[in-house]
Structure 1
Amino acid sequence: MPAKLSVNLNAIAMLRNRRDLPWPSVTGLGRIALAAGAHGLTVHPRPDQRHIRFTDLPEIRALIDDEFPQAEFNIEGYPTGDFLALVEAAEPEQVTLVPDDPEQPTSDHGWDFVANRDMLKAIVTRLKRTGARLSLFCDPDASEEQIEAARTTGADRVELYTGPYGACYDDPAKAAEQIALLGKTADAAHALGLGVNAGHDLTVDNLPALVKRVPDLAEVSIGHGLTADALIHGMDGAVRRFRSALEAPR
């Protein structure tokens, strides 16, 4: 079964926030994405609300519940008290915990699972009471020791940080090296019973090689590349193109 596609709405929200106007509509484009075949929607509400606003969360929750009940809502973020309260109110199907500093422009590294094991275990235990699936952001070259520590937190999945792979768009040799690292980490996670997601700078062009090396990939969360694609092909067309890339022969 091809990996599921979750459309990250942050870039759309960032564009909306350039003006004190309600367009482009985060929920409107989310609706188009889901109608085109996306399996879910992802947001990363940061403390300064520079893209997704806290008020967006109940609207996205209602969109999925009322119109696309088979779809999933995935909320990413660093587990501050405020973030945990947002998650518990929104009741997403999946929560992805990332080790971001609030000032970071975007996620750019995975957790040190060994150093943060106890903290993550407590957060995972708390959030599982909501019924959510828990995923932890993971470096592409995480060691077996790190993956074992991730497993002991009680999380269901890890999400491979694919930024370094995406940065190799013009260097096939380096891209192949990154694919090998991602594949090794995915293999280690699968061997321990963890599901594997992936996200960051994934495109129509680089997805086929990833899904070929990681055939049991569960889900990809894509925002920047898909939104850029939508400027050319429309949101409907972009979702269909990314789904086709995920279905490439393995």
Structure 2
Amino acid sequence: MPAKLSVNVNAIAMLRNRRDLPWPSVEALGRIALKAGASGLTVHPRPDQRHVRFSDLPVIRALLDDEFPDAEFNIEGYPTQEFFDLCAGVEPDQVTLVPDDPSQATSDHGWDFRKHQDFLAGVIGPYKKMGCRVSLFADGDGDAEAVAIAKAIGADRIELYTGPYGGCYDAPEQAAVVLDGLGKTADAATALGLGVNAGHDLTVSNLPALLRRIPQLAEASIGHALTAEALEFGMAETVRRFRRACGQSI
């Protein structure tokens, strides 16, 4: 099965937020992406609302419910009470829990599952009772024991943090090393029955190699590179380009 493509609209919202104006519209560009075949939309509502705003969430939920009922809503965030309440208000299909400090510019590491095992075990249950699939952000370092902890505490999937892989865009030998770690992590997850997602700095160029190594990849969540390409090719054509890179037939 080809990997599904979830379009992360944070970069669109960040561009909108540069002015006190309603454009570019997260809703309108999300609609274009979904019409072009994206399988869902991803958001990361940070506490300072510097990317998507809290007010964007019900708008996206309504877009999906009214026009694209088969598409999924994936919400990323650090599991505070405020984040839980935001999720409860819009009932996402998937929640991706990330170990972000509010001061971080973007997600830049996975969970330390050994250190945060008890904390995560205590927060996963309420999301699952809400009806959400729970994915945990994970480093792709080949640590099978860490992946086993994610399974034991109730995760449904892990999302491989692919930032280091994307950062090797001009260093193919290093990219191969990083890809090997990602692949070993994915293999360990699959052996345990965990689904595998991936996200961060994925591009049309580096997705095919990732899919060859991890053919079981369920979903790629892509925002920065996709939004950058949309400035050149338009949102609809860019989604089609990324769908092809994910192995989908267009």
Q: TM-score range by the shorter chain?
A: over 0.9
Measured in 2, the distance between the counterparts of 1:219 and 1:123 equals 23
Alignment of 1:78-157 (within 5 A): 78-157=78-157
Give, in whole Å, the separation in 2 of the partners of 1:161 and 1:129. 26
Q: 1:118 Cα deviation (Å)?
A: 1.5
Partner AA of 2:151 in structure 1:
R
The alignment covers a number of residue pairs equal to: 249
In structure 2, the partner of 1:55 is 55
SS in 1 for 2:137: strand
Match of 2:6, SS state, is strand
The alignment's TM-score, normalised by the length of structure 1, stands at: 0.98
Aligned to 1:244: 244
Distance in 2 (CA, whole Å) between partners of 1:91 and 1:98 is 18
Q: How does 1:157-236 map to 2 (within 5 A)?
A: 157-236=157-236
The runs of at least 4 aligned residues of structure 1 exceeding 3 Å deviation read: none
Give the whole-Å Cα distance in 2 for the aligned partners of 1:17 and 1:153: 37
Question: How far apart in 1 are the matches of 2:121 and 2:28?
Answer: 36
Matched, 1:9 2:9: yes
Whether 1:70 and 2:74 are equivalent positions in the alignment is no
Q: Deviations over 1:63-120 (max 9, x none)?
A: 0000000000000000011001001111000000000000000000000111111211
Post-superposition shift, 1:140? 1.0
> CA offsets, 1:179-217, max 9 Å, x none?
111000000111111000000000000000000000000
Separation of aligned partners in 2, 1:130 and 1:66: 21
Please tell me the residue identity of whatever aligns with 2:240: R
Given that 1:11 and 1:223 are in contact with CA atoms closer than 8 Å, whether structure 2 keeps it comes out as yes
Q: Secondary structure at the match of 1:96?
A: strand
CA contact (8 A) 1:229 1:238 kept: yes
Unaligned runs of 5+ in 1: none
- CA shift, 1:153, in A, is 1.3
Identity %: 69
Aligned Cα RMSD in Å?
A: 1.0
Contact 2:94 2:133 in 1 (8 A): yes
Q: C-alpha deviations, 1:105-148, integer Å up to 9, x for none?
A: 00000001111112111211010011110000000105121111
**Aligned equivalents of 1:224, 1:109: Cα separation in 2:** 17
TM-score where L is the length of structure 2: 0.98
Q: SS where residue 182 of structure 1 aligns?
A: helix
TM-aligned CA deviation for residue 248 of structure 1:
7.3
Instruction: Give the counterpart letter for 2:231 in structure 1.
Output: L
Secondary structure in 1 matching 2:73: strand
Checking the alignment, whether the CA contact within 8 Å between 2:204 and 2:242 is kept in structure 1 is: yes
SS of equivalent residue, structure 1 residue 186: helix
SS in 1 for 2:123: helix
Could you tell me whether the CA contact under 8 Å between 2:3 and 2:248 is conserved in 1? Answer: no
Whether the 8 Å contact between 1:162 and 1:201 is mirrored in structure 2 is yes
Alignment pair present for 1:24 and 2:24? yes
Classify the secondary structure of the residue corresponding to 1:83.
Answer: helix
Say whether the 8 Å CA contact 1:34–1:68 is kept in structure 2. Answer: yes
CA distance in structure 2 between the aligned counterparts of 1:202 and 1:157, rounded to whole angstroms: 19
